Amino acid sequence: MTGHTLLDALLSRPTPAVMGVLNITPDSFSDAGQFLEPRQALAQARRMIAEGADIIDVGAESTRPYGSTAISADEELRRLKPVLPEVIALGVPVSIDSMKADVTDWALRIGAAIANDVWGLQRDPQMARVVAAHRAPVVIMHNRDRADANIDIMQDIATFFTRSLAIAEAAGIARDNIILDPGIGFGKTQDQSMTVLARQQELAVFGLPLLIGASRKRFIDSITPSQPQERLGGSIAAHLLAAQDGARIVRVHDVVETVQALRIMAAIKDRR
């Protein structure tokens, strides 16, 4: 299936596609170490597919804004090689969550379907070239090295996306192979993350599908104090609102609950 055909299939559904998170890391904010062992990771992928995940997003380096440890491409590949081919073989589209072009290139070569770059083609100068060479869909996420409460976060996102899209065009990435992600929780204060969710519709100006990943993020704790695993209700609330405002993909840790919520929302709206 080509990138365009894949995205057409994912984005033409009445409810947003659900991207299930599979972290093969010891230091992710929500599920650190739970799926580091290959058998556990594969079992989790199977579980999410059975629960209704449309995409499995596999990452081997934590990108949490605070407390993560950068790793080499060799270490990232060492974690991925026992797991990623097996997940791809399950038959559901797989996205590779990596900011490294070499890792993304390897993953796309062995059958990953989507590149998911948390630095929006702006960190590794070879990333856009790799994505273009594979003609793969790419998630361009907004990010910052640090949060700044004094900036207009929506303007910052718009400026970032404009630059990323220029990089993509120069590399030959087809515009209809691009998904935008405003990066909830990345380089933002908790208040700014909520502002992005509240003003998500402003990003429609780019004319591209949006991915929203609010799952278990810290802004929920700022409203209702809770640990990451206790933020299911807040995650679902944010994703339902994002879906109503036009998000076409939601990235989640809790697949079955999110799928149920989206389907019930759609069923009720159909009766109006």
Catalytic residues: 217, 251
The three-state secondary structure class of 21 is strand
Cα distance between the two ends of the chain: 36
Could you give phi then psi for residue 103, rounded to 5 degrees? -70, -45
How far, in whole angstroms, is CA 233 from its chain's centroid? 19
> In one letter, which amino acid is 17?
A
For residues 215 and 240, the answer to whether their CB atoms sit within 8 Å is no
Q: How many CB atoms lie within 10 A of CB 50?
A: 10
Q: In whole angstroms, give the CA distance from residue 19 to residue 5.
A: 17
Buried b (16+ CB within 10 A) or exposed e, 9-23: ebeeeebbbbbbbbb
Per the listing, tokens 């949006």 go with: 210
For residues 32 and 25, the answer to whether their CB atoms sit within 8 Å is yes
Phi-psi region of 182 (alpha: psi -120 to 50; beta: other; left: phi over 0): alpha
For residues 239 and 200, the answer to whether their CB atoms sit within 8 Å is no
Burial class (CB in 10 A: 0-12, 13-18, 19+), 118: buried
> In one letter, which amino acid is 229?
Q
